[in-house]
Amino acid sequence: MQPELLNVADYGRAAEATLRRDLFDYYDGGALDEITLRENVASWQRLKLYYRVMAGVTSRDLATTVLGRPVSMPVLVGPTAFHRLACADGEPAAARAAARAGTAFCLSSLSNTPMEEVFGAASSPKWFQLYLYKDRGLTRELIARAESAGAEAIVLTVDAPGWGNRERDARNGFRLPPGLSVANVAPVGKGDFPEVEGSGLAAYVRTHFESALSFDDLDWLCSTTDLPVVVKGICRGEDALRSAEQGAAAVVVSNHGGRQLDTAPPTCDALPWVVDRVAGACEVYVDGGIRRGSDVVKALAYGARAVLVGRAILWGLAVDGEEGAFAVLEILRRELEEAMLLCGYGSVSDIDGSVLKP
């Protein structure tokens, strides 16, 4: 780790200095006024940790399981698009970093690298994030390919029936540079953005993604694959419970990193409602604004089994490829271990709500 890069925010600033402005804005930006984007971070920061003293903690055990698979810590690599905007090796570099850190890796549908190549580089638990295409046959093919390539779960994104108005992308006319495409569907002619003014990605989504998502689609997915299904993009408790009742093995409390509905609640605020309503019917994860190991403690105290990080990995890739992504994960590991010691916890399984509400 470079001495000037001590935390996730340092990597964010270094990535901004490294990347072309339109590419950094694509990674960093949110919808409209970016209120939810900022609140995702600020809400974790506002939560206070009521630490215990003289707890006799001699060691810290960060290990847990997700979907029955062991991981070295409750910090997973969430799905983010277009890694080759950050570094030439792209998604395989992120997958190798996750494997080195002993944690799960989730590949986005909007990958610049075919899933078979990425999953071949991942020796840790690997999941495939799915957007439903209007072409249901293509969607079936993506699921079948993910199964054959070794994916261990399908993560259905449900908070994007339309595409949030990301004004940075519209101003920049965001599109993929020459030589890059949506690699998983490029062979069927759906890998390139339409030629339009404004955001090429927004136009791509309007052209190809299913906008009329319903719980019938979740039923269809659960009947189509034998893999565990994770529903990502949950904000409300009743939606989480219904997802579990219809076969989801887990839900992710997420607002798409503040990139969809601006003024949606930060995930920190939505998480307790979801955990309470689900009441153990499925596993609950959370993403959005996780920047410190202490944020992970807070998420676990609210009842999440694990957190997913996205932008932090992209920033690491932009600064130093696989090494940068691995360094970011190790920063979060060290900070989590330190926060557990200072809060009086020897194991992540011991973290409970008393640290937030004494």
* Burial call 147-159: b when 16+ CB within 10 Å, e when fewer: bebebbbbbbbbb
* Alpha-carbon gap, residue 214 to 156, rounded angstroms: 12
CA-to-CA dists, residue 279 to 83, 219, 304, 327, 343, angstroms: 36, 21, 11, 35, 25
Of 34, 99, 11, which is closest to residue 317 (Cα–Cα)?
11
Of 119, 113, 109, which is closest to residue 141 (Cα–Cα)?
109
Question: 65 pairs with which residues across the strands?
Answer: 70
Q: What is the DSSP letter of 189?
A: T
* Alpha-carbon gap, residue 115 to 220, rounded angstroms: 22
Using a 10 angstrom Cβ sphere, with 0-12 exposed, 13-18 middle and 19 or more buried, the burial of residue 165 is middle
Q: How many helices (H) and strands (E) does the chain have?
A: 13, 10
Task: Look at the block and give the residue holding tokens 């998604």.
Answer: 91
Give catalytic residue positions.
Answer: 256
> Which three-class secondary structure state does DSSP give residue 85?
helix
Contact between residue 179 and residue 191 where contact means Cβ atoms under 8 Å apart:
no
